[in-house]
Structure 1
Amino acid sequence: MVIPEDSRFASDPEEVLGPVDGEATGLPVGWTVGSPDPGDRFDVARLTHLLRAHERHGRGWAGASVDDVLVEVSERGLRMRENLVLRDADGEIRAWGSVHDRAEGRMLFVHVVERDLPDDLADTCSRLLVEWSVGQAREVGRARGLAVQQIDTGAFADDDRQHRFLADGGFERVRTWWQMSRPVGDDDAALVPSSERWEDRGVVFRLVRRSGGEGAMPDVDDLREVHDVLESAFVDHFNSYEETFEEFLHRLREDPGHRWDHWWLAELVPEAGVTEPVGALVGTVTESPTGPDGSYVAYLGVLEAARGRGVAKGLLRTIISDAASRGRDRVGLEVDADSPTGAAGLYTSMGWETRYVTESWHRDVPVD
C-alpha cells in the first residue's frame, strides 16, 4: 500500500458534525467551526500559542514550534491528517483538534482547548472536538475497511483538566510513558570509535548508506531493513500496529527534526561474512532557541533473537557519541513504564533520568 493522494478523512466539518451554526453546537453566538488556514501566518501563530500554552500547563515548559504546527496543518501533512478549529466572534482560534491516519487501525488525535476559557465553555469545546474525532474515526476506518477504529490521544500525567476532558469523552487511560533525558558532555564523543561505523564482538554499528553528497537519499534497501527490524522488534509491544514502508517513511520525514544521518543499523557479521540486520535506531534533532540542540531517540528496536548481545547498548552509545561530536548537550527518549523488556533499567544504567510523564488514552469506535 502507498500513501493515498487523497485524505481518507472528511474535509467538511458538517460531514461528521452535522450543522455547525452556534445554536446546534452549543457555542456562544458568533462562534464558528471550521478549518485553519496554513497559509495564514496569524492562524499558524495562534495554533502555536495554544499548543505551547497546553504544554506549559501540563509539564511546566513549552517545546512546540511553528514547524510542529505545520506538520499538522500544511498541505503535505493533510495527506494523512485533518484539522478542526473553533473561533470566537472575533475570529480568534480558541480550540484545535487534529487527527492523523497513523497506521491501519490506529488514528492519533491532538486535542487542545485554550486554558483561559471558563469551564463550561471549555467543556463544550472539548465535546465538539471529541465528537468530530469520533466522526473522523468512522470515516478513516470505513475507508480502510475496518470494523473498529482506535483513537489514540495523550495527556501529561499532571494535567487534571485534560484527564477530565478525555474521560468525559469516553476515553480510557491505558498506558504511562517516561520521558527521559541524558546529559551529554565532550568526553562522550569517545564512547565509540566512530559514530559512522564501528564494530564490537561481531556486531557492526553503522549509518544507513548514502551514495552521493550530503543531500543524497539513503540506500532504499537500508531503509527497508530499518523498517523491517522495527516492525519485527515491536510486533508484541503495547498498541503496535503494522505500518507500511511508505507510511513509515512519509511520517518520519515530516518530523521537523528528521535527518538521514541520524539513522543507524546494527548487523551481525557471521563467519561467512554475510551481514544480518538485528537492530535499528532512528534519531532526530531537538532544536533549542535558547541553547545547544539535543538528539532524540525516536525509535530503537532489536530483534528478539539478538537481545542480550549488547546491540541496544551499542546503538545508544552511538547516538550519544554522535550528539557529543555535534556539540549537543542531551539525548532524549521515551520508554513504556510497563515495558516487559526491562528497557528502563538499561536507560537508567546509562545515565537517563525521567524529566516528565505522559499517558496514552484510547477510545475504540465501531465503524458503521
Structure 2
Amino acid sequence: MTGPDAGTGLEAGPLSKDCVPAWLELLGAVERADRAGEHIDAEELNEALSDPKLDLEQDTLGLWEGSRLVAYAVVHTPHGALDVARFQGDAAVHPERRRRGVGSRLVAWMEERATARHAALPDLSALPGELLLDGRTKDEGLRHLAEGCGYTPCRWWFEMKHPLTGDAPPARPAPEGTRVVPFDSVYDEATRLAHNDAFRDHWNFAPFDRTDWNTWVTGAGSFRPAMSRLLVTDTGGPGGTARDGARGTPPVDEVAAYLLAEESEADTAATGRRDCHVGYLGTRRAHRGRGAAPALLTELLRAARAAGYDTASLTVDTVNPSGALGFYEGAGFVVDRESVTYARPLGTDRTS
C-alpha cells in the first residue's frame, strides 16, 4: 500500500531504513505518554528491519502526516509453528492521533496481512491461525482497542527484576557429569538444538532455524556472550555437530542447559542503570530436575554483579509448565511489570 489511506486520510506506505529517524521519534512520543518502560534505539530498529524473513513491502505499514510518522504496524509470520499459526502484531499510534480510528485501522491491516500469509503458506494453512497483540496489563487504551476488535486475553507475563546489591549469592555446583562454561561460538549450534528441545512443550513455541537464531538470538546486537553461560556434558552428544562437521574439528560436548544474556543500551541510556536481562534460560528435557537452571542463574547473578550491572531481569509466562515463576521468586526476583497477550482467530467475524 502506497498513497492516501482511505480509513484514516493519512499517507500510507511500507517502512524502510530511511524511516528509522521518524520511527524513533514516534516511539519516543509513545513512551513519554505511556511510561511503559520500553526504550529502543536506531540500531535496534535497523536490526528489526534487516530480518531476512520480513518482507518490508508487504509486512510493514507506516501512516504519515506530512513528514511525521504517526502510526506503524508490523506483522511477523510464525515460520515453523507446530500447533497454531500465531502471527505476531506490533503497532503503535502517536498519542496525538489516538481515539480517532487509527488503531482500529492498524489492527484491520494486520489481520488482512496475517490472513493472506496464513492462506499462502502450506505449512501454516494446515493449522488454525491467530493474530496476537501484546501490551501492558495497565494499558486501558490497548484493552479497549483489543476488546473492541474482538480480541481476548490469552496469556499473562511477569517482568521480574533482581537487584544486584549486597553480597553475591554463593556459587552452586554443576550437576554431576556437567560443567559450566562461558558461551563460545563453538557451542552456538549445540545451544540452538538445546533450546529447541527445552522449549518444545511451551506455549507458542516454534523451533528456531539457523536464520532466526542468528537474527534474534546470538546474532542480535543486544546479545552479551560474556555474561552468557552454558552447562555442558563431559561426554559429547548431539552438540557434536555444532561446528557443521568441519573436518579435523573435535566434537563439541552436548549443551545440557543454557542461559543467554542480553543488554539494552537504549534502556541504559534512558535510565542510567545497567540491566543484565536473561533472554533465554532452558534445560534439555533429559537433564531436568538435577539443578541445572539454579547453577546457571546463580552464575549469571554473580557475573553480572562483578561486571557492574545494577539489576538482572527476565520475563516469565505466569503459567509456564516448568514452574519457572516459583523458581525465580525463590531466587530473589520480584515482579516489576505485568504484560498481557491478546489473541483473535483469523478468518472470523468480529461480531461473532
Pick the TM interval, shorter chain: 0.7 to 0.9
Q: How much has 1:159 moved relative to structure 2?
A: 0.5
Aligned equivalent of 2:182? 207
Residue 283 of structure 1, aligned match among 253, 257, 261 = 261
Aligned equivalent of 2:13? 34
Instruction: Provide, for residues 305-356 of structure 1, a one-character-per-residue CA deviation record: whole Å limited to 9, x for no partner.
Output: 3222110101101211221121111111011111232211111111100001
Aligned equivalent of 1:242? 207
Q: Show structure 1 runs of 4+ deviating over 4 A.
A: none
Q: Larger deviation: 199-208 or 278-287?
A: 199-208
- Structure 2 unaligned residues grouped into runs of 5+: 238-251
Residue 349 of structure 1 aligns with an amino acid whose one-letter code is G
Instruction: Provide, for residues 202-250 of structure 1, a one-character-per-residue CA deviation record: whole Å limited to 9, x for no partner.
Output: 33111233xxxxxxxx11xx21221111111111111222332322222
Say whether residues 1:323 and 2:304 are aligned partners.
yes
Q: How much has 1:40 moved relative to structure 2?
A: 4.8
Distance 1:112 1:91 in 2: 17
Residue 100 of structure 1, aligned match among 76, 80, 87 = 76
Q: Larger deviation: 303-312 or 31-40?
A: 31-40
Give the TM-score of the pair, scaled to structure 2: 0.81
Distance 1:280 1:143, change over 3 A: farther
Q: How much has 1:54 moved relative to structure 2?
A: 6.0
**What does 1:13-28 align with in structure 2 at a 5 Å threshold?**
13=1, 21-22=4-5, 24-25=6-7, 27-28=8-9
Q: Conserved in 2, the CA contact under 8 Å of 1:207 and 1:263?
A: yes
Distance 2:212 2:106 in 1: 26
Q: Conserved in 2, the CA contact under 8 Å of 1:48 and 1:65?
A: no
DSSP-derived class of the 1:258 partner: coil
Q: Conserved in 2, the CA contact under 8 Å of 1:293 and 1:329?
A: yes
Aligned residue-pair number: 321
Q: How much has 1:93 moved relative to structure 2?
A: 1.8
Q: Conserved in 1, the CA contact under 8 Å of 2:70 and 2:93?
A: yes
DSSP-derived class of the 2:18 partner: coil
Distance 1:131 1:42 in 2: 26
Residue 77 of structure 1 aligns with an amino acid whose one-letter code is D
Give the TM-score of the pair, scaled to structure 1: 0.78
Distance 1:203 1:181 in 2: 28
Residue 224 of structure 1, aligned match among 180, 186, 189 = 189
- Structure 1 unaligned residues grouped into runs of 5+: 1-12, 15-19, 210-217
Say whether residues 1:178 and 2:158 are aligned partners.
yes
Distance 1:259 1:143 in 2: 37
Residue 334 of structure 2 aligns with an amino acid whose one-letter code is E
Distance 1:275 1:62, change over 3 A: closer
Distance 1:116 1:21, change over 3 A: closer
Instruction: Provide, for residues 37-79 of structure 1, a one-character-per-residue CA deviation record: whole Å limited to 9, x for no partner.
Output: 42256413323324424651xx3x443333333333x3x2364
Aligned equivalent of 2:342? 361
Distance 2:62 2:235 in 1: 56
Q: Conserved in 1, the CA contact under 8 Å of 2:77 and 2:117?
A: yes
Residue 280 of structure 1 aligns with an amino acid whose one-letter code is Y
Task: State the percentage of identical aligned residues.
Answer: 20
Residue 67 of structure 1, aligned match among 43, 60, 64 = 43
Aligned equivalent of 1:127? 104
Distance 2:51 2:210 in 1: 17
Aligned equivalent of 2:281? 300
Q: Conserved in 2, the CA contact under 8 Å of 1:187 and 1:324?
A: no
Distance 2:67 2:327 in 1: 50
